Amino acid sequence: MDVKQPAVYIVASKRNGTHYTGVTSDLPRRVHEHREGLLHGFTKQYGCRLLVWYEMHEEMIEAIAREKQIKGGSRKKKLALIEQKNPDWRDLYEELA
């Protein structure tokens, strides 16, 4: 049985490109869905397939609050968040395996 853990994440189309902030209880599955274009909507339309930032949380309520905080911030703040953890904008998906 998989153990689910809440996470906030940012997927991007490319370095400094279009990005999307989301929350999930199963980060590897959700990122796989973004990568394969299985989720219709914004991320598929804009090609947001690279996992460039994520943060794990103990409780979903904490993850949702953090997602709202990030989404409420400026683009500059989101880019700074990514640059701090992932200055090379590597695809972090492999770290999840």
CATH, residue 82: 3.40.1440.10
Residue 53 CA to residue 79 CA, distance in Å, equals: 10
Rounded Cα distance between 32 and 12, Å, is 13
Domain total of the chain: 1
Type of residue found at 29:
R
pLDDT tens for each residue of 15-70: 999 999 999 999 999 999 999 999 899 999 999 999 999 999 999 999 999 999 99
Domain that holds residue 42: 7-96
Q: Is 2 within a domain?
A: no
pLDDT in tens, 76-96: 999 999 999 999 999 999 998
